[in-house]
Amino acid sequence: MKLLILFAPLILVGVYAIIMNLVHLNSGMLEPNFEIINQFYRFNFFLLPSCFIFLCLFYLVLFFRSFKKARTLFLSAFCGFVAFSLLALDYYITEVEPYRCYIREVQFFTDKISKPLKIVHFSDIQSAAVGEYEALVFEKIASINPDLILYTGDFLQLGKDREFNKEWSKLLVLFKQLNPRFGIYAVFGDTELELYSRSKAELMPILMLSSTTSQFEFEGGTVSILGLSLFQSKRPLWAMRSIEPWIESSDEELFKIALGHSPNFALALKDTPVDLCLAGHTHGGQVRVPFFGPLTIYSKIPKEWALGFRQIGLPYLNVTAGVGSNRYSGLPPIRFNCPTELTVIELLPK
């Protein structure tokens, strides 16, 4: 009976934690219901540590009352360890990994250019307030000295206490510090409806492409860029309404790059002669469980496409993990086994 009294609180908390996590996973993690994800986060990193701290103190009281001293001391230490581990994990996933921002390098050999071209592809800044981290990201981009910068949407994701115009002005200053030879091209994401009404002059040096194309020549060849609208990037068949006439009107020797915020559009391009597709939106999953992969990618593409560079038929596809983190429903920036990144794609002649 004494053993049952001793272990009952720990068993109840453990069973409750398992049930609540299963409920959250089934109702919100496999499909991105961000309110449920926020509840999942707060349960595991606020409520559970509090429960285990209480149990730690409870068993410590029993220890000083000489109630099965060895066992109560062990249980107190165990509960304290679990509480500390959860709090330490919370610190890592919200304060360390979201701000690591490493550089992933890719070499892409093609017979459509005769000189190298260095591209920086990045996405999903989704800043809640532009500050030191964003400045560090742009310093890294400047140090790469790219020839071309391609951005695939989601600039800001502000809290209620932040004014869009003020934060956008600070972010635009950072973009103006970059000076790639062939410019900065971008597409619209989910979080910048306020930018749709801005003129091209107001957005410079960023050239926004939405169901439009642009091209430039350099000493190694000609590059043609198509930027899809947000709607098209999420719906492959609608994306083809811009991609097919672009292909038909372009010379075969042009190096063709398609930009879309969501990578869904790439599902329709298996046999289409596009050289390179670039997308963001998935954030690589943000939380990638070892041996399982991302819990959710918020996209219709196969999970293995949600992060990295690969051939998907005729085209190659690069989906970046992004330099920011999703903040829907008041979420903090959360990353696990999926740090923020910049992708450097070096086009090289065969």
Lowest mean pLDDT among 54-68, 122-136, 193-207: 54-68
pLDDT for 5: 65
Residue 265 near residue 279 (C-beta atoms within 8 A): yes
Q: Are residues 191 and 90 in the same domain?
A: no
Structural domain of residue 8, as residue ranges? 2-97
Please tell me the predicted confidence (pLDDT) of residue 209.
97
Please, which pLDDT band fits residue 284 given cuts at 50, 70 and 90? very high
pLDDT band at 350 (very low <50, low <70, confident <90, very high): confident
Of 97, 119, 134, the one marking the end of a domain is 97
Domain identity same for 270 and 297 = yes
159 within 8 A of 128, measured Cβ to Cβ: yes
d(CA 308, CA 284): 8
Q: In whole numbers, what is the pLDDT of the chain averaged over residues? A: 92
Taking CA atoms, 337 is separated from 195, 308, 349, in Å, by 32, 14, 34
- For residue 220, what is the domain's CATH number? 3.60.21.10
- Do 60 and 108 belong together in one domain? no
Contact 209, 187 (CB under 8 A): yes
If asked whether residues 32 and 154 sit together in one domain, one would say no
Average pLDDT over residues 8-34: 74
Are 255 and 294 within one domain?
yes
What pLDDT sits at residue 120?
98
> Would you state the pLDDT for residue 229?
97
Are 92 and 106 members of one domain? no
Same domain, 53 and 199: no
On the question of pLDDT at 233 being above 90, the answer is yes
| Domain count for the chain | 2
The verdict on 90 and 106 lying in the same domain is: no
Over residues 233-243, mean pLDDT: 96
- Taking only the tens place, the pLDDT of each residue in 34-67 is 888 888 899 999 999 999 999 999 888 887 876 6
Residues 153 and 60 placed together within one structural domain of the fold: no
Cα–Cα nearest to 273, from 107, 110, 105, 120: 110
CA distance 299 to 287: 15
Mean pLDDT across 225-252: 96
Higher pLDDT, 66 or 209: 209
Checking if the pLDDT of 1 tops 60, the result is no
244 and 313 both lie in a single domain: yes
Q: What percent of the chain has pLDDT over 90?
A: 75
Residues 113 and 195 in one domain: yes
Whole-number pLDDT of residue 70: 78
Residues 107 and 164 placed together within one structural domain of the fold = yes
What proportion of the chain, given as a percentage, has pLDDT over 70? 95
Q: Note the pLDDT of residue 21.
A: 73
- First-to-last alpha carbon distance for the chain, in angstroms, is 77
3-class state of residue 196 by DSSP: helix
Question: What per-residue confidence (pLDDT) applies to 67?
Answer: 64
Q: How far is CA 204 from CA 13, 43, 120, 145, in A?
A: 55, 44, 18, 19
Q: Which of 66, 97, 128 is the last residue of a domain?
A: 97
Residue that is last in its domain, among 77, 97, 117: 97
